[in-house]
Structure 1
């Protein structure tokens, strides 16, 4: 699939498409042979469903801004922007109106709840949907969640750790929807890699709860307290031999935990600071244990690098170099840097515009096994609605994050 129009500028309407997704050369035969029958409309405007009112309006406006950069003035198709209000009911109403107006594809909505409300409406009308949520549970034929999902980031960083021999994985995760999504992703990836099932511990708000979670996860009661009990017993002998024995035991290392990689799901700086005090207290230390984290660490990696506990930790995320051109253009047009999700909005719009000139918004074109190169790197949409992405692996360092495994340029490689 070829691209046209790269490098053009459209100052009259502030549209820009110098970073349109590109088709990736090479088609995996196994995927090509499993293609589902094509569905979707072959023409019509592009519907953009975003919250322009309500609490999420600032995010919706950023998504609209990003999408407009992919549509040049005077070039088809038209962009039909509709407000969802940030609610499931609003999204369903907007989808119905867009379909009735003859729109050929839906970009959005933003949240998982909205996407689940839109899905049956769009599927019944044979209109494909590129939604902005990162909840992979909404994936279904004709419904592709383009947000960077827990599945994608976990799979990449855990596979990278496994390649270095870190195959006994534990996880310290918030007791939230995000935490449970990470847990599911960790279990799925362990199965895919034929690794032992991860040991997962959830924590609730509050330092006492976090302390108990780390203590339980570390198995300190068995690893450390037995040694402490021996020291105490030697001292209680109140003899020279007992005191000498206690001194010898104090120099004995506590055995490392049963895991050699620990995925930490916290993204709040204060909670991460508390975890940093608890890990060494319970003798969970690098390099015996490789720390791993989610893609959201990319926003706080410079601060994390100042804490020696997290130096060397790994996380998977898009390479910011991939979106540099888009970020600069968005800044120049709108006078402010784009939020992270704006990348997803731009890519969805650019893909829709691309395939509109290649035969329409059909699932056959959307699920081209070669995939696309977008502002967040390579991605491939599968017939079942799942989305594969090529992410880079970063290491937290005092001077800033360092790429230890570059993002793949094709999803045909094992490292993707």
Structure 2
């Protein structure tokens, strides 16, 4: 029976833990007695209304998209509602608009949001939707904080609050180099996710004095993987580290293929990504491996609180919606509707929430604080390098 593989999405799937007071965050100081907001009469809005605040924020989500799209949208909507109730019920008014997962509808809802006086837009989720929404939001100088994990759609006032695979790869590989592992081989899946991981691996190695001896790509079947492992076996014997970014069953299958090709894994450091949290880490071949991921203890608290409120387990990515709404409420409390400018959004000290510390760079992509985990016996995960708790000012 052939091995089953799951295509890499290189999105972090983790769980996070902090006390309730510690998860309230954000890098913007709150005035002790904020000035009352000016009286502004907004036109009627189309969509689900959450909150009664004077500053309107549109939230574009694929509520009726096919497949998993609507389920993910519901989780993001629930997380946004939870944050609004806790941070800004009388500060902001969220207007949830359905994009149906269609770029043309994302364009229409973005236009509608602008006409209705929304001070900023959160979402959409998918790259093609973000691109279309930006065609109307950027000319109007409207800040958009979207949730796509494709960094190519960021910039020009469009920000992404997401787990970009590039940052996860960079953190894990940089840590390995710092610990003395400078020569790498890589086994990566064919397709866009493998391209992103390999390109970032090369950038990180070049920036930190590391070397990529050889890389190999595979399709999701036994024979393709075995060919890739065999082609890289000799180079793996010379390398100090083996980079395996994919999750699901891939780390286990890659390790088995390398062993059958004569590679002594005991003498190598395996480097993965946060996608490994979807894998069977009890495999003895993975003991000692390192991978970067969000601080799982914080996200565990988010998942518990979400489950208590909505009666279901959320995806980890939905915590991004919670943190974004909490951040937006903090901006409004400090600056009002006038706070949605690039200098404010790009606050160097950043923000902190269930997804850890994060800040937005001038190109619209996020910089996040990730921990590095080591796989132990029985699949135990131990932090070998904690996630940063702040960025400081730069």
- TM, length-normalised to structure 2: 0.82
1:75-100 residue CA offsets vs partner (Å, 9 max, x unmatched): 12100100011121121111111111
In the alignment, does 2:159 pair up with 1:159?
no
Match of 2:364 in 1: 385
Match of 1:146 in 2: 161
Q: Distance in 1 between matches of 2:360 and 2:89?
A: 29
Match of 2:38 in 1: none
Match of 2:9 in 1: none
In the alignment of these two chains, the number of paired residues is: 343
Q: CA contact under 8 A between 2:272 and 2:290: conserved in structure 1?
A: yes
Q: CA contact under 8 A between 2:323 and 2:353: conserved in structure 1?
A: yes
Deviation at 1:197, TM superposition (A): 4.2
Match of 1:323 in 2: 299
Match of 1:23 in 2: 27
Deviation at 1:24, TM superposition (A): 8.1
In the alignment, does 2:389 pair up with 1:404?
no
Deviation at 1:374, TM superposition (A): 1.5
Match of 2:12 in 1: none
Q: Distance in 2 between matches of 1:316 and 1:63?
A: 24
Distance 1:170 1:411, change over 3 A: farther
Q: Distance in 1 between matches of 2:352 and 2:72?
A: 24
Helix, strand or coil at the partner of 2:271? strand
Q: CA contact under 8 A between 2:149 and 2:162: conserved in structure 1?
A: yes
Counterparts of residues 79-94 of structure 1 (less than 5 Å):
79-94=94-109
Distance 1:216 1:410, change over 3 A: same
Deviation at 1:194, TM superposition (A): 3.1
Counterparts of residues 150-299 of structure 1 (less than 5 Å):
150-197=165-212, 199-219=214-234, 257-269=237-249, 271-299=250-278
Match of 2:84 in 1: 71
Q: CA contact under 8 A between 2:251 and 2:276: conserved in structure 1?
A: no
Q: CA contact under 8 A between 2:245 and 2:275: conserved in structure 1?
A: no
Deviation at 1:312, TM superposition (A): 1.1
Helix, strand or coil at the partner of 2:316? coil
1:5-32 residue CA offsets vs partner (Å, 9 max, x unmatched): xxxxxxxxxxx9983432189xxxxxxx
RMSD: 2.2
Unaligned 5+ runs, structure 1: 1-15, 26-42, 221-255
Q: CA contact under 8 A between 1:17 and 1:69: conserved in structure 2?
A: no
1:262-311 residue CA offsets vs partner (Å, 9 max, x unmatched): 11132122x433323211122333342211112111233xx22x211111
Distance 1:210 1:74, change over 3 A: closer
Q: Distance in 2 between matches of 1:299 and 1:208?
A: 23
Deviation at 1:110, TM superposition (A): 0.7
Q: Which has the larger radius of gyration?
A: 1
Q: Distance in 2 between matches of 1:335 and 1:161?
A: 40
In the alignment, does 2:323 pair up with 1:347?
yes
Q: CA contact under 8 A between 2:246 and 2:275: conserved in structure 1?
A: no
1:11-62 residue CA offsets vs partner (Å, 9 max, x unmatched): xxxxx9983432189xxxxxxxxxxxxxxxxx84111111100221000000
Counterparts of residues 31-110 of structure 1 (less than 5 Å):
44-55=55-66, 56-72=69-85, 74-110=89-125
Helix, strand or coil at the partner of 1:48? strand
Which aligned runs of 4 or more in structure 1 are off by greater than 6 angstroms?
none
Unaligned 5+ runs, structure 2: 1-19, 30-53
Deviation at 1:334, TM superposition (A): 0.1
Q: Distance in 2 between matches of 1:321 and 1:354?
A: 24
Distance 1:281 1:177, change over 3 A: same
Distance 1:266 1:326, change over 3 A: closer
Q: CA contact under 8 A between 1:20 and 1:70: conserved in structure 2?
A: no
Q: CA contact under 8 A between 2:348 and 2:391: conserved in structure 1?
A: no
Match of 2:35 in 1: none
Distance 1:127 1:318, change over 3 A: same
Tell me whether 367-376 or 271-280 shows the greater mean CA deviation. 271-280
